[in-house]
Chains A and B, each alone.
Chain A
Amino acid sequence: MDSLLRFLVRLRQIDRRVIAALTLLCLAVPLKVPLPLKMVPLPATKKLKTTIDELPPGKLVVITCDWEAGTKGECEPLTTTVMDYLMRQNRPFAIVSFAQQGAKLGQQVAFKLAAKHQKEYGRDWINWGYKPNYDKTLLAMMTDLPGTIKEDINGTPVAQLTLMQGVRTLKDVGMLYNVAGSGLLDMYIQFCSGDITLAQACTAVMGPERYPYLQSGQIKGLLVGLGGAAQFEQLTEFKDEFGNPRGKGLQRMGSQSLGHLLVMFLIVIGNLAVWAEKRVGAAPPPVAGEEG
């Protein structure tokens, strides 16, 4: 018993470089060696699919890519899986972003999917580009959309594009799907809720704050983090360009699974070590990286 306790005490002194190496292994290896994993879709994910399915045919969907490279790991699959489903359903969509990098990052995703599904820019999808001053721009979009957007990302006047025919204000679109690496949902709810069907995808860390809006019906679907993307991929039977039933969400779930297990393991052994220290009566190690 005593030797076990002493072993546990020693566990408190794992070098931070070892922890960093373990983290790297857990996150990197499953990206190269895919694990055969399956996700069970949650009700919030199913609700988003139902909302999209119930949209009138031909109605424009607006995808707001309010994310940047820092949250690309989660937000890119969240954008990809819904864009892919919209293209498969022949539903036109427009990209817009209130984050500087979002419009270009969203465009990269759309280009790849458009090539896969033979979709044409301007007829099946469009990119309104990055718009600064989100609150004032959104407010203006609610009353005059072409006048506010003016040109797409390539400098073409949006009024000339086939996709924009009949879309005068944001109230004319079928759904606004916000992919967020930041907390802009409150703004969409404040300015658009009631006039537009809203749905959201957000990073996992933001997820818990979003559930009240889902329960109240202010958003009609919610994808949370990489898990949300993986669930939507599974639900909509996503296939990549080679026909493999694995999108980036499901591919990366292996890394996330091992990452979560590693965090839990380290929390447990860290606490066991502290408990053992008290039992043995050993002095705590000299600030063995207590600063994190």
Chain B
Amino acid sequence: MGDQPQVVTGLFQTWFSEHLFCPLTGVWFWLAVLASILAFCGVLAVLQKLNSAARRRLTVVCTFLAGLFYSLDFFCPERWDPVQGYVQPLGNFLLVLSGFSIGLGIINLVMVHGRRLARGGGGAINSVAFFLGFLGMLVFGLLAQPVEDGATRVSFATGVFEVLFRGLLNSLDATTFALLGFFIVTAAYRAFRIRTVEAGLMTVVAFLVMLGQVPAGQALTAWIPEDHALALLRIENIQNWLLTVPNTAAARGILFGSAVGGFALSLRVWLSLEQGSYFREM
């Protein structure tokens, strides 16, 4: 613990770190920012000029390179991994990129609700609620200060944020989820019908697991000593066996199935074999 992890330097990484990705200060920093903005605008202008076939080819190449990067990092032995040194910088870059996606989401939400608000009508009140919630959380969240537990005096902004976050968001979330309990009980009574042998078997197993999960159920077989030969019949042991043997086998089967499906889908996306609407529209 404490030693810097040994990372193999990536291809051209030293050159990049010495000539391109090095800290700048003063005028050079602002010139670099300006150059980056100009380069970005230039790339955007070139992308706009491309026809749909060229854009598709560009997307295919970028997708393949991105997939290849992590494949190389995963499959190459550590000593010969040509991209290992880039994993961390790329991770930081992706974090920044994800920040932009949150911004895009906000812009989209504001546009959708702004249009609805401008049109008026029945749903406009929901858009008002969105703007109030969004701006309230944004403004007071930025102004709020950390609160020590048991603090008696907080600033106005912190107080409003605590009311919005703890008083409103937490409570609404908990209330919505709590309604599920009532729904489950009603559904169990009205919809759970034992019409087949399989359904009967499932009901018996469900009852055993439910009983084994609670003390009231465990108490039913608590008279069997834990070290007795018949302890296997204690309800918590039956529950444990059901969960760790038949359930594990079934869950693993499902996991394998979904993993193979996910692998196939990943390959199709990586190699751009997926013929989804994204490619058709371009």
Contact = CB atoms under 8 A, between A and B. Distances in A.
Contacts of A111: 149-150
Interface string A21-52: 01110010000000101111011000000000
A140 B91 contact: yes
Contacts of A27: 181
Contacts of A147: 92
A149 B9 CA distance: 24
A253 B214 contact: yes
A292 B216 contact: no
B2 A269 contact: no
Contacts of A227: 213-214
A262 B186 CA distance: 10
A104 B189 contact: no
A171 B166 CA distance: 34
B169 A212 contact: no
A101 B169 contact: yes
B214 A260 contact: yes
A40 B236 contact: yes
Contact of A136 (B91, B169, B189, B190): B91
B108 interface: no
Contacts of A225: 213
A139 interface: yes
A39 B192 contact: no
Interface in A70-97: 70-73
Contacts of A267: 188-189, 192, 203
Nearest to B240: A42
Nearest to B187: A292
Binding site of B, secondary structure by majority: helix, strand, loop or mixed?
helix
Contact of A19 (B165, B186, B191, B247): B186
A215 B244 contact: yes
B263 to A, nearest CB: 13
B210 A260 contact: yes
Contacts of A23: 181-182, 185
A122 interface: no
- A14, A37, A39, A42 pick with most chain B CB within 10 angstroms: A42
B63 interface: no
- A69, A104, A154, A166 pick with most chain B CB within 10 angstroms: A69
Contacts of A136: 91, 94-95, 98
A280 interface: no
Contact of B193 (A40, A169, A270): A270
Nearest to A172: B1
Interface in B220-256: 226, 234, 236, 239-240, 243-244, 247-248, 251-252, 255
Chain A interface size range: 35 or more
Interface in A203-237: 204, 207-209, 211-212, 214-215, 224-225, 227, 230
Contacts of A230: 215
B31 interface: no
A54 interface: no
Interface string A251-268: 001001111111110110
A117 interface: no
Chain B interface size range: 35 or more
A144 to B, nearest CB: 6
A101 B87 contact: no
Interface in A134-169: 136-137, 139-140, 143-144, 147-148, 153-155, 166-169
A16 interface: yes
Interface in B147-202: 149-150, 165-166, 169-171, 173-174, 176-178, 181-194
A164 B178 CA distance: 38
A168 B169 contact: no
Interface in B122-165: 146, 149-150, 165
Contacts of B218: 38-40
B173 A68 contact: yes
Given A132-B98, A166-B1, A269 B213 contact: no
Given A42-B236, A209-B251, A137 B95 contact: yes
Contacts of A262: 185
B95 A133 contact: yes
B114 interface: no
Contact of A264 (B87, B183, B191, B207): B207
B174 to A, nearest CB: 4
B87 A143 contact: yes
A5 interface: no
B243 A292 contact: no
Contacts of A14: 189
6 contacts: A40-B218, A140-B95, A172-B1, A212-B248, A227-B214, A271-B192
Given A136-B91, A204-B213, A261-B216, 14 more contacts: A37-B219, A40-B226, A69-B169, A72-B174, A101-B173, A140-B95, A143-B87, A144-B88, A168-B4, A259-B181, A270-B188, A270-B192, A292-B186, A292-B187
